[in-house]
Amino acid sequence: MKSFRTRFAPSPTGRLHLGHALAAKVAHDLARKNGGEFLLRHEDIDGSRIREAYYAGIEEDLRWLGIDWDEEPLRQTDRLPAYAQALKSLQDQGFVYPCFCTRRDIQNEIATMASAPQGPEGPLYPGTCRAIDPLEAQRKIQAGQPHAWRLTANQAAKQSGPLTFTDLRFGKIQVDPLLLGDVVLARKDIGSAYHLAVVVDDAFQKITHVTRGEDLLPSTHVHRILQSILKLPEPQYLHHQLVLDETGKRLAKRNDALSLATLRENGATPESILQKIQLSSAI
């Protein structure tokens, strides 16, 4: 194993677009320039939107761009036991609690609050289920009531203590453990969610440098807490700028006109795509 490892982790819910091209290129080039390895991971735990054809489509798009990877691509659906083990560790340590709220329940609760907790992109979960009696919560679970498992952010932060992370673009950053509040780590129907799966997989794949868009910078605060309490290694980070459209707004993920497959059909070349993402974003 080489000491420098990065990864690109798209979800096979559609074809890659320009934003994906930039993310893959940044991770690939950072690894290659440092004599390291670049891995491909399919984040496919949300089975409702996954299509088998998209796995091959993603790999086809990457090869067309001239981006190669080391090792067999990892699928998160093959890793469910590892996520369950990590969740159990958090449960045993008392760092998660079951949440039975629907989205509408949460919206209604926030609407009644004079001062709802705020995050980078709006109101946070107000902690409605945090104080439910454990016996009552267990009764609901045994009755088959849908639920999610949320991180008890304040308690986890007390256990982890002050934390930082190093970003190759922004430097050393102090972790704010309450930035995203009590985030969802797993759901009854899926068994895991993004925040838990990503830190478990990064450790499993021995990723030394996590590269991703700057829109995910707030998530890193949660990931550092999870790495600490799960005793997982701490990677370095690079949160790069995003590809923007002509109006200066972030690209819409579902804009098929900007998918690499559509652009290729309309005459785009790999060179023109790479030039386009370099012009519209600076790392």
- Strands, E assignment, 116-188: 118-119, 122-123, 148-151, 164-167, 171-174, 184-187
Is residue 245 scored above 80 in pLDDT? no
Confidence band for 1, pLDDT divided at 50, 70 and 90: very low
Tokens 């949320």 correspond to 150
Q: Which residues contact 155 (CB under 8 A, 6 or more apart)?
A: 94, 95
**Per-domain boundaries in the chain:** 1-78+241-283, 83-201
Q: Quick one: pLDDT at residue 251?
A: 67
User: What's the sign of the alpha-carbon dihedral 60, 64, 65, 68?
Assistant: positive
Q: Quick one: pLDDT at residue 227?
A: 98
Q: Quick one: pLDDT at residue 198?
A: 98
Is residue 26 scored above 60 in pLDDT? yes
35-79 pLDDT tens trace: 999 999 999 998 788 999 999 999 999 999 999 999 999 999 999
Kindly state the average pLDDT of the residues 204-209.
Answer: 98
Chain centroid, CA 11 distance in Å: 10
The residue among 162 and 191 whose pLDDT is bigger is 162
Averaged pLDDT score across all residues of the chain: 92
Q: Pick 1-78+241-283's CATH classification: 3.40.50.620, 1.20.1260.10, 3.40.50.1360, 3.40.1380.20.
A: 3.40.50.620
Kindly state the average pLDDT of the residues 82-88.
Answer: 97
Indicate the fold that domain 83-201 takes in CATH: Glutamyl-tRNA Synthetase; domain 3 (3.90.800)
Half-sphere exposure of 75 (CA within 13 A, CB side): 14
Q: Quick one: pLDDT at residue 48?
A: 80
Which phi and psi angles does 151 have, rounded to 5°? -70, 130
